[in-house]
Structure 1
Amino acid sequence: MTKESFSIHGENLLNKIKELIAEGNIRKITITDKSGKELMSFPLTIGVVGVLVAPVLAAIGALAALVGECTITVEREEQQNKS
């Protein structure tokens, strides 16, 4: 698994999370504030999109209204080459 981090402002948080979920190879997303305190963390497993993600997106939208700058850390499933 690989990790990647993005610094982002609260108003762009929800759109970035939606983009990441749409990519499909995300295993876990963690949101931390600028001091490094974890605000939210949630796993994404294959098939857990749509209805189950909607409450998480609502919570992220509320969080985005409260935070200024934050960091999103993404754990990605490594792509396996089929040669």
Structure 2
Amino acid sequence: MTVTREETKVHGTELAERIKKLIHEGNVRRIIVKDSHGRTVLEVPVTVGVGAFILAPVVTAVSALAALAAEWTIQIERIDDAV
């Protein structure tokens, strides 16, 4: 099992939708949201099997954050089971 990391920039209006998609992908281990100054504002460990009803408050918080700034950076840690 290896962990890969990637980083993507999104505008405020796209933040919540992108987080929802990442949560549903299944191979995402952790999502870190940073503001335009590089400060971490939200870090979410995504556990396999966690239902959407448990992560709903996270998506609500992300939606509120999206209104505060124009640009966000999302760092994504993925689990790669291929050997």
TM over 0.5: yes
- Taking structure 2 as the reference length, the TM-score comes to 0.91
> How many Å apart are 1:49 and its aligned residue?
2.4
> Share of identical aligned residues, percent?
42
SS of equivalent to 1:47: coil
TM-superposition CA deviations, 1:27-68 (whole Å, max 9, x none): 000000111101100100011121110010100010111121
SS of equivalent to 2:13: helix
Among candidates 63, 66, 71, match of residue 64 of structure 1: 66
Displacement over 4 Å in runs of 4+: none
Q: Structure 1 counterpart of 2:70, which letter?
A: G
Partners of 2:24 and 2:54 in 1: CA distance: 14
Aligned residues: 81
- Taking structure 1 as the reference length, the TM-score comes to 0.91
User: What are the ranges of 5 or more consecutive residues in structure 2 without an aligned counterpart?
Assistant: none
User: What are the ranges of 5 or more consecutive residues in structure 1 without an aligned counterpart?
Assistant: none
Give the superposed CA RMSD: 1.0
> How many Å apart are 1:79 and its aligned residue?
2.9
SS of equivalent to 1:18: helix
Match of 2:32 in 1: 30
